Amino acid sequence: MKILHINTERTWRGGEQQTLNLLIGLKARGVASDLVCQPGSPMQKRADGAGVNVFPIVMHGEIDLAAALRIRKLINQFNYDIIHCHTSHAHSLAFLASVGTGSIRLVTRRVDFSIFRHSFLKLSGIKYRYMADYYIAISHKIKEVLVSDGLAGHRIFVAHSGIDSQRFMAADGGGLRDEFNIAENQPVIINVAHLAGHKGQIHLVRAIPQVLAKLPEARFFIVGKGELMEELKAAAAALGLKDELVFTGFRDDVADFYQIADLYVMSSVQEGLGTAALDALALAKPVVATNCGGLPEIIHDGRTGRLVAPADPAALAEGILDLLGRAEAARAMARQGQAMVQESFSIDAMVENNIKIYQKVSANG
């Protein structure tokens, strides 16, 4: 079995980390896999460093005929059984490149948006129905969305994303308490995510005054960058928030924020799965998350964390206050979550599930 993976992203986010984890896992298991990605991208640099065989190809959008022709040459040269697409643009390019070759087209879907969300004249329906053979959804919720959009359920498999549960273990908090003047008795609440509308940080910002009214010593940190940074800062200023909330921007010491956190909050209104919540649970940190997307597949309310209504600042505030006010119960939930992550959301589990899917689609032809 030979597999060609395609990732068209020029930046590095969660999907690229999952792609790399999969490639490394496949290599370790002797599954022949090559990667097409953007030249000079973080994907190429990290894949090269991991010993993955990389074909750097410039890909301008999803209808880049020159790129499709170059990919087609690779398919014909190496006779790949499966073309595994890890981005939306890769989906279209793989179709153009592989028509008539006999290769199976497999697309991983990581978001719980409808395929018609940004579709002109609903052309995405054509793309998703006819331009791939099978799909991998990283959560059952994503599969539900795809089926409701008209895709046949038997063409969609579920393989949860996996994390390295040890990757933040060595962090010790660094000098964050000194840098931000955090007292030992101050609860630290963090959100680590791209600052985008679907991540729902605006609802977290609006929840903070309600938390501070009952727990004035609490400190909040929103870690990450994104297009909504200035809008979120303006909302915080309008609410009178100062040192109680820090927007850190991009940080390369994210592990230290997880280590000093008393609570992780995931405020999303849409979420494919929620690997940041998995990272928190891997460290046995209590989690409050919203009941949307794939998050209920991680956070079982009252057992592995608190699950609250999305887009509801009052509900977020209640969940935060509840777990901070019940420290022993919160720790017990976090420990259950940690065990669940180790068993069901490891990189090994993710790789093995993908291999099982490769075997099934190959058998189906």
Judgement on whether residues 131 and 182 belong to the same structural domain of the protein: no
Judgement on whether residues 191 and 148 belong to the same structural domain of the protein: no
**Tens-place pLDDT, residues 329-356:** 999 999 999 999 999 999 999 999 999 9
Judgement on whether residues 201 and 145 belong to the same structural domain of the protein: no
Burial class (CB in 10 A: 0-12, 13-18, 19+), 180: middle
pLDDT of residue 120: 53
Residue 117 pLDDT grade (very low, low, confident, very high; cuts 50, 70, 90): confident
Judgement on whether residues 299 and 181 belong to the same structural domain of the protein: yes
Judgement on whether residues 279 and 148 belong to the same structural domain of the protein: no
Judgement on whether residues 184 and 308 belong to the same structural domain of the protein: yes
pLDDT of residue 124: 81
Domain extent for 78: 2-162+346-364
Characterise 284 by phi-psi region: left (phi > 0), alpha (psi -120 to 50), beta (else): left
pLDDT of residue 126: 87
**Tens-place pLDDT, residues 291-331:** 999 999 999 999 999 999 999 999 999 999 999 999 999 99
48: in domain:
yes
CA–CA separation, 267 vs 203, rounded Å?
7
Q: How far is CA 25 from the centre of its chain?
A: 18
CA–CA separation, 31 vs 298, rounded Å?
29
Judgement on whether residues 122 and 205 belong to the same structural domain of the protein: no
Judgement on whether residues 94 and 194 belong to the same structural domain of the protein: no
Judgement on whether residues 300 and 359 belong to the same structural domain of the protein: no
CA–CA separation, 238 vs 241, rounded Å?
8
The yes-or-no verdict on residue 119 having pLDDT over 80 is no
171: in domain:
no
In the chain, the number of structural domains is: 2
CA–CA separation, 279 vs 17, rounded Å?
13
Tokens 């609006």 label which residue? 206
170: in domain:
no
Judgement on whether residues 52 and 146 belong to the same structural domain of the protein: yes
Judgement on whether residues 109 and 221 belong to the same structural domain of the protein: no
Q: How far is CA 178 from the centre of its chain?
A: 31
In sequence order, the 6+-apart residues with CB closer than 8 A to the CB of 43 are 7, 9, 12, 16, 19, 20, 35, 37
- With H, G, I as helix, E, B as strand and everything else as coil, classify residue 142: helix
What is the domain-level CATH number for residue 240?
3.40.50.2000
Judgement on whether residues 43 and 138 belong to the same structural domain of the protein: yes
